[in-house]
């Protein structure tokens, strides 16, 4: 029951956060006269001056809130990491859902978006972060459930290295066009093979952690 109530609570909080985030983005686009169908080349207000610092701070604050959800819902670090992953995945998917409800964007999974600005612009088609989010939700729920029934996933050094390497490759696929965007240019083709390898490594590491024998230890207070 605790797992079910935790899953519902995390889902509701993440959906509410996504609504707020998408509403803020719509307001910013209207205030700065940004057409979501013409994001590239990036307009100057998005990258320079106080607005850039505020936007980076907003993104960082969002990550802190998502991590806070995981920290509050979990008792072990594995639980907290799992619930953070679930919160992030639900938030990201619902963010695009609410934007579509509000303004009919994105038009398709192939629509490009500016995903992040830390430490340089991340860009890619909407399907790519959506795939990451689905994986985070699936593996996060599986890990949280195992922990709830006393089978805490065991993450070894090899698995951790694979997960980190895979994650870095995924990030590299998103930031590959960053220098061109900073220079005022247009993004080139999305390096999906790099993304696919990264997702494969990270997913294989997650599966290995879930299949490993449960980690033994005292019940956290």
Q: What is the pLDDT of residue 184?
A: 86
| Residue 159 predicted with pLDDT over 90 | no
Q: What is the pLDDT of residue 45?
A: 46
**Domain contains 203:** no
- Cα gap 105→210, rounded to integer Å: 36
Work out the pLDDT band at 221, boundaries 50, 70, 90: very low
Report phi then psi at 156, rounded to 5. -85, 175
**Domain contains 190:** no
In sequence order, which ranges of the chain are alpha helices (DSSP H)? 2-32, 49-73, 77-103, 127-148, 157-175, 178-182, 192-211
**Domain contains 182:** no
With tokens 């594995």, the residue in question is 78
**Domain contains 139:** yes
DSSP state of 219: P
Segment 135-149 shows an average pLDDT of 94
In sequence order, which ranges of 74-156 are alpha helices (DSSP H)? 77-103, 127-148
**Domain contains 173:** no
pLDDT tens-digit profile of 41-54?
Answer: 876 544 445 677 78
Is 51 or 205 the better-scoring residue by pLDDT? 205
**Domain contains 174:** no
Q: Lowest-confidence range among 44-53, 101-110, 174-183? A: 44-53
| Residue 135 predicted with pLDDT over 80 | yes
| Residue 201 predicted with pLDDT over 70 | yes
Q: Lowest-confidence range among 106-120, 130-144, 160-174? A: 106-120
pTM: 0.89
**Parent domain of 74:** 2-152
Specify whether the CB–CB gap between 112 and 61 falls below 8 A: no
Q: Lowest-confidence range among 23-37, 108-122, 138-152, 205-219? A: 205-219
Mean pLDDT (the chain) is: 89
| Tokens found for residue 178 | 């960053």
* Chain Cα centroid distance, residue 210: 21
Q: What is the pLDDT of residue 19?
A: 97
Q: How many domains does the chain have?
A: 1
DSSP state of 46: G
Segment 167-187 shows an average pLDDT of 93
Residue 153: Cβ within 10 Å count: 25
Q: Lowest-confidence range among 86-90, 103-107, 119-123, 152-156? A: 152-156
Nearest-CA neighbor of 6 among 97, 59, 71, 93? 71
Percent of the chain past pLDDT 70, that is, above it, reads: 92
| Residue 140 predicted with pLDDT over 80 | yes
| Residue 216 predicted with pLDDT over 50 | no
Nearest-CA neighbor of 26 among 111, 94, 104, 88? 104
Query: Based on the number of CB atoms within 10 Å of its own CB, is 212 exposed (0-12), middle (13-18) or buried (19 or more)?
Result: middle
**Domain contains 100:** yes
**Domain contains 20:** yes
């Amino acid at each position: 029951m605790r797992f079910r109530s935790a899953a519902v609570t995390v889902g509701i909080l993440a959906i509410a956060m996504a609504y707020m985030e998408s509403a803020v983005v719509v307001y910013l686009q209207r205030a700065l006269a940004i057409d979501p169908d013409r994001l590239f080349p990036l307009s100057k207000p998005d990258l320079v001056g106080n607005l850039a610092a505020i936007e980076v701070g907003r993104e960082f604050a969002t990550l802190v809130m998502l991590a806070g959800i995981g920290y509050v819902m979990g008792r072990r670090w594995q639980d907290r990491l799992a619930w953070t992953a679930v919160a992030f995945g639900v938030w990201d998917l619902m963010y695009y859902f609410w934007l579509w409800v509000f303004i009919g964007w994105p038009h398709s999974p192939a629509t490009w978006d500016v995903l992040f600005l830390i430490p340089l612009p991340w860009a890619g088609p909407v399907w790519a972060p959506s795939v990451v989010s689905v994986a985070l939700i699936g593996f996060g729920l599986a890990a949280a459930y195992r922990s709830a029934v006393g089978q805490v996933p065991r993450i070894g050094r090899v698995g951790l290295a694979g997960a980190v390497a895979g994650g870095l490759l995924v990030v590299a696929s998103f930031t590959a066009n960053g220098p061109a965007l900073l220079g005022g240019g247009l993004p080139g083709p999305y390096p999906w093979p790099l993304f696919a390898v990264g997702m494969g490594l990270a997913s294989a590491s997650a599966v290995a952690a879930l299949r490993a024998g449960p980690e033994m230890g005292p019940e956290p207070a």
